[in-house]
Structure 1
Amino acid sequence: MHFVRYMEEEHTYLDHQFFTRHAQQNYPITPMLYHYDYAEFSSSHDMLWAQVQAMYWLIHYLRDVLKTLNPHSEAVYLPQKHHMMLWSGSKTALVELIYALYASQYLNHGLSDLSTIVASFEDFFNVKLDVVYKTYVEIKARKGSRTKFLEKLILKLEYNMRQDET
C-alpha cells in the first residue's frame, strides 16, 4: 500500500530502488518474482505498478459497463474526471492560497509536500504555475499586508454572509 501511495503522490526519492535494473541488496519489499527471472529487463516494482494501473483501468471499465446496463440508477461512485475549472485570478493569488493551505497542514493530514499540492492545483484549475517559490519570496517581501489575497477572500465571504442575512 505504501508503494501505491508513493506512486500516486508522484514521489521520486525511492525511484532508484524501485525502478533501476542493476542488482540491489535489501529491497524494502520485492513483490514480484518476475524481477528475478528477467533481471536484465525488469526492475523490482515495474510489474507491480503495471498491475495497479491495470486494476484502475478495470475498475473504470466495469463502472462504465454498469452505468450502461442500468443508466437510470444512482451512481454509487465518484465520476472519473472533475468538471473543468479555470483559475481566473492572478497566479500570485493562487500561489498565496496554495502556501496557506500547505502551511495549515489540512491537506492529506499534513503529509502532502508542496510540489504535490501545486501539481494538484495546476491540474484542477488548468493553469501552469512557474517558479512557485520565487512568487512566494515576492509575496513575503511585500510592504504592508503580505496576505492580500487571503484578506480579500475573508472580506468577500463576510460580505456574502451579511447579504444572506438581509
Structure 2
Amino acid sequence: WRIGGAVPSHNSNSNEASIAELDDGTLAMSFRVQSPTGAAAHCRHFALSADGGETWGAPFTAEDCAVLDPVCQGAILHVRGLGVLTSGPDSSRTREAMSVQRAAHADATGLRGWQLVARLSHGPAAYSDLALLPLPSVAQGIAIGVLYELGSFGGG
C-alpha cells in the first residue's frame, strides 16, 4: 500500500473519502466537501481513477444532484451485477434521513442512473459504512449491511 494521487479540485476542503473498485478496475471515490459553494454545494462528490489511484479525474456530482450531502461522511460500495451503492444522509443541509442509493451504471465513464434503494431512518443520522455480507449456502441473492449513527448526540 502507498499513497496515490490527489483529486484535482478548485476546493481543497474535500475529505472523509471512501473508495470502491468497479468491475472494469476503475476506482470510484466518494467524498464530502467541508466548505461547499456554488451550484453543487450540497451534493455528494465523486472522482474516478483508471490507473489504480495514481491519478484522478475531476470531481463530479450525480446528475441533478441525485445524491445529497449535508457535509457528512458517507460510504461507497460496488456490488458486482448490482452497481455502486452509497450511504449517507439524504438531505442537503441537515444530517437526517439515512439512505442507501444506487448508481445502476458504473464504469470509467462515470456513475449514472441513481435511484433510492432504501430509506433507513427519517430522523437524525450521520456517519455510515456499507458491507457485503455472506449468505448461507442455501440462500440466494445478496445481503448488504449498513452501520450508521442514529440520533442527534454531538453531530448535527
Same fold (TM over 0.5): no
Task: Give the TM-score of the pair, scaled to structure 1.
Answer: 0.20
Task: Give the TM-score of the pair, scaled to structure 2.
Answer: 0.20
**Which structure: greater strand fraction?**
2
Larger radius of gyration: 1
